[in-house]
Amino acid sequence: MSVLPGTVAPGPSAKRRRPGRPRLAYLLILPATAVLAAVVGWPLVKIVQLSVQQQLSGKYALFHGGANSPYVGLRNYSRILSDSGFWTVAVRTAVFTAINVGLSLLIGMALALLLNRVSRWARVLLVAVLLFAWAVPSTVSTQVFYWLFSNQYGAVNYLLDALPGVHLAGHDWFADPHQGLAVITAVVVWGAIPLLAISLHAGITQIPREILEAATCDGASPWQAFRSVVLPYLTPLLVILTTLSVIWDFGVFNQIWFMRNGHPEPGYQTLGIYLYANGIGSSHYNDGATIAVLMMLCLLVVMVVYIRQLFRIGDAQ
Amino acid sequence: MTATVRTGAAAATSAPHTPSVAVRRRRFSRKQYRTGGWNLVAVLVSIVMGFPIYWMLLTAFKTSSDINRTTPLFVVTHPTLRGFREVLGDEIFRRNLLNTALVTISAVLISIVIGFFGALAIARFRFAGRKVFIFAVLIVQMIPLLALAIPLSLLLDRFQLKNSLTGLVLAYLMFTMPYTIWTLRTFIANIPIELDEAALVDGCSRWQTFYKIILPLVAPGLIATGVYGWILAWNEFVLANTLLLDNRKQTSMIYLLVFQSSPTHGADYGGLMAAATLTSLPVVTLFVLFQSRISAGLTAGAVKG
């Protein structure tokens, strides 16, 4: 089977889907529809409803009749959108996402090209390491990075301190949220690289070799060959990988939560953490619902591109 | 090796005249030299990428005096199983590991059975509402789990399923099911429909066609989606953290966080790394065993956890 979604060739029978018997089809999708309606549909409706209801404090109020609290229109939205704290968090999330996506894609692409140039044994070694890094849960890798960057006995401080002109012995990376977020970026990027590198490498190997060779014959530099041959070929795949990376990095939660032992300081808050702290943690469910809706609206913009790409592939089959 | 041969051939075809043996040999060696350089880069990258995993395993087997040294030890001198014994001796950890397994297996099995039917419908039938169904499945994959944590907890509370593993399984269906449907759809779509038709012509019933033709051919796809669904569910943290309150009912991901932040375990990195190793072991094993299948399934569904 084809490895790359962007390059799946439509089978000969693609357009001849069996007509008729729709009743059987409806029967087949019934269970899935029921489950999705219950665990996604209902909560989605509920979250929009909560976001336009009066703010209630405390779990008790919400769980016991609070669901019938009066509607207040968009008052929750205007309160949150006029809060400067929200905007600080939103901007931080945007910057964090941009940096993480950019770094992951750059390094992922560099490793994909590297995989294409090395000997077989080196490729096997690197792919094996990438697979292990890919498989480790983000909660676990965050614990490991926390320990690596710990100020007292952490290996990173020790190794960096050994470099000439660097003095990092006993340095606390988490005292300054910017440095702390840099460490979190390291975990996120470390975890994201394997998927990107391996799928991009698979994409590169599908480029017809003759085309690359022709480019080299015509005197193209490696950079020119990359720009005018490799990149155009990889564009559909890159669109999907970029959108997915944006979606994941925008919603990063585990890495920040674990790095701060479940109590992220304000300087560490991205939208996900902000939603949890202001909505669930403090039982302000209506605020939480409002932030959740705002978050989904932001993501929807990215999703449009993604869904269109997926639909094009889906239609091809 | 292959790279050298390939570029040699390319050089031969590219040059207007057949290059002399001496020139060709020089090109070969320059190319080999360059490949050697890239190999070195690959080894360095592997060391950097692999270091966190190495450090986790190393710490898990270190004695506490070796862990808390101002000069970190990069090898293990006195390997010990103290960390592993400590967490495995903790009844809560064993309980949480079992919970994780139960929740994961249930969510994956339910998703596969129900998702398979859905995938079959969209891959093999044209019906009104098909696009709407596909759209719903795709869009659901993009919703941040966190956003739905509040209403899910309300819903489960209403049915007295909050703080229960059954409730968590239902919540997990939210992300395992759409992925399963979408990925299995690709696998089914890749089976030529002529096979179905031939079977029907030969007198098979619809059910027999499904049972004798589609099911065996889609088996690799079922494994791929099952394993990947396993990874997603096993690694989930946000929903488990929101929906489960009782520590005997929690999953191992929450155990890790509680272990790290509890005053008694505060700096017990040996125990923490042992717990981390044990927690990731099932996932890493499955992943490495089925990695080629998973990559295919992943890109088919274009989803990651």
Residue B249 main-chain phi, psi, to 5 deg: -100, -5
- Output the DSSP codes for A169-225: TT--TTSSHHHHHHHHHHHHHHHHHHHHHHHHHHHHHTS-HHHHHHHHHTT--HHHH
Residue B23 main-chain phi, psi, to 5 deg: -65, -45
Query: Which chain A residue lies closest to B194 (C-alpha atoms)?
Result: A13
The overall average pLDDT reported for chain B is 85
Give the gap in angstroms from C-alpha A270 to the nearest C-alpha of chain B.
Answer: 13
Among A114-118, A277-281, A302-306, B133-137, which stretch is predicted with the lowest mean pLDDT?
A302-306
Chain A residues whose beta carbon lies within 8 Å of the beta carbon of residue B193: 13, 16-18
Query: Which chain B residue lies closest to A287 (C-alpha atoms)?
Result: B150
The confidence score (pLDDT) of residue A197 equals: 95
Distances (CA, A) of A154 to B79, B119, B258, B259: 19, 48, 21, 19
pLDDT at A46 over 80: yes
> Is A262 in Cβ contact with B257 (below 8 Å)?
yes
Please give the average per-residue pLDDT across B77-104, as a whole number: 94
Please give the average per-residue pLDDT across A90-97, as a whole number: 96
Report A:10-69 residues touching B (Cβ under 8 A).
11-14, 16-19, 21-22, 24-26, 28-29, 31-33, 35-36, 38-40, 42-44, 46-47, 50, 62-63, 67
- Cα distance between residue B240 and residue B232, in whole Å: 13
A90-94's contacts with Cβ under 8 Å and 24+ in sequence apart are: A90/A271, A92/A269, A92/A270, A93/A250, A93/A270, A93/A271, A93/A272
Please give the average per-residue pLDDT across B220-236, as a whole number: 91
pLDDT digit string (tens) for B99-112? 999 999 999 999 99
Chain A residues whose beta carbon lies within 8 Å of the beta carbon of residue B162: none
Does the beta carbon of A210 lie under 8 angstroms from any beta carbon of chain B? no
pLDDT at A122 over 60: yes
B298 pLDDT tier (thresholds 50, 70, 90): low
* Look-up of token digits 């990359």: A226
The confidence score (pLDDT) of residue B14 equals: 43
- Cα distance between residue A198 and residue A201, in whole Å: 5
Q: Per the structure block, which two tokens stand in for B296? A: 């295919």
DSSP A94: H
Closest CA to B302 of A216, A279, A306, A135: A306
pLDDT at A287 over 70: yes
pLDDT at B300 over 60: no
The overall average pLDDT reported for chain A is 86
Amino acid of residue B288: V
Q: Per the structure block, which two tokens stand in for B35? A: 């490949």
Does the beta carbon of A304 lie under 8 angstroms from any beta carbon of chain B? no
Does the beta carbon of A114 lie under 8 angstroms from any beta carbon of chain B? yes
B257 pLDDT tier (thresholds 50, 70, 90): very high
Q: Which of A87-91, A170-174, A237-241 has the highest mean pLDDT?
A: A87-91
> Is B146 in Cβ contact with A251 (below 8 Å)?
yes
Give the gap in angstroms from C-alpha A153 to the nearest C-alpha of chain B.
Answer: 6
Please give the average per-residue pLDDT across B226-241, as a whole number: 92
Largest CA distance in chain B: 83
Q: Per the structure block, which two tokens stand in for A235? A: 């564009």
Mutate to test the interface with B, among A3, A36, A52, A261 (most CBs of B within 10 A): A36
Please give the average per-residue pLDDT across B199-207, as a whole number: 85
CB under 8 Å to A249, separation ≥6 — which residues? A96, A97, A100, A101, A104, A188, A192
The confidence score (pLDDT) of residue A264 equals: 94
Q: Are B196 and B212 in contact (CB under 8 A)?
A: no
> Is A292 in Cβ contact with B146 (below 8 Å)?
yes
Report A:72-91 residues touching B (Cβ under 8 A).
none
Q: Per the structure block, which two tokens stand in for A184? A: 């979190």
Burial (CB count <10 Å: 0-12, 13-18, 19+), residue A240: buried
Which of B42, B234, B300 lies nearest to residue A126, judging by beta carbons?
A: B42
pLDDT at B273 over 90: yes
> Is B276 in Cβ contact with A144 (below 8 Å)?
yes
> Is A126 in Cβ contact with B126 (below 8 Å)?
no
Please give the average per-residue pLDDT across A165-175, as a whole number: 88
The confidence score (pLDDT) of residue B162 equals: 86
The confidence score (pLDDT) of residue A107 equals: 98
Residue pairs spanning A and B at CB distance below 8 A: 319
Among A12-16, A100-104, A165-169, B71-75, which stretch is predicted with the lowest mean pLDDT?
A12-16
> What's the half-sphere exposure (Cβ side, CA atoms, 13 Å) at B293?
19
The confidence score (pLDDT) of residue A281 equals: 83
Q: Per the structure block, which two tokens stand in for A160? A: 């960096």
> Is B128 in Cβ contact with A119 (below 8 Å)?
no
Q: Are A109 and A196 in contact (CB under 8 A)?
A: yes
pLDDT digit string (tens) for A33-42? 999 999 999 9
CA angle A219, A221, A226 (to 5 degrees): 120
Which of B137, B148, B261 lies nearest to residue A43, judging by beta carbons?
A: B148
Q: Per the structure block, which two tokens stand in for B195? A: 């096979």
- Cα distance between residue A153 and residue B273, in whole Å: 14
- Cα distance between residue B72 and residue B76, in whole Å: 11
Between B33 and B13, name the one with better pLDDT. B33
pLDDT digit string (tens) for B136-179? 888 888 888 888 988 998 889 888 898 899 999 999 999 999 98
Among A192-201, B265-274, B293-302, which stretch is predicted with the lowest mean pLDDT?
B293-302
> Is B115 in Cβ contact with A32 (below 8 Å)?
yes
How many contiguous H segments (helices) and E segments (strands) does chain A have? 15, 0
A7 pLDDT tier (thresholds 50, 70, 90): very low
pLDDT at B302 over 60: no
- Cα distance between residue B54 and residue B47, in whole Å: 9
Give the gap in angstroms from C-alpha A38 to the nearest C-alpha of chain B.
Answer: 9
Q: Are B5 and A119 in contact (CB under 8 A)?
A: no
> Is A118 in Cβ contact with B192 (below 8 Å)?
no
Whole-number percent of chain A with pLDDT over 70: 87
Q: Are B218 and B169 in contact (CB under 8 A)?
A: no
Please give the average per-residue pLDDT across A2-22, as a whole number: 45
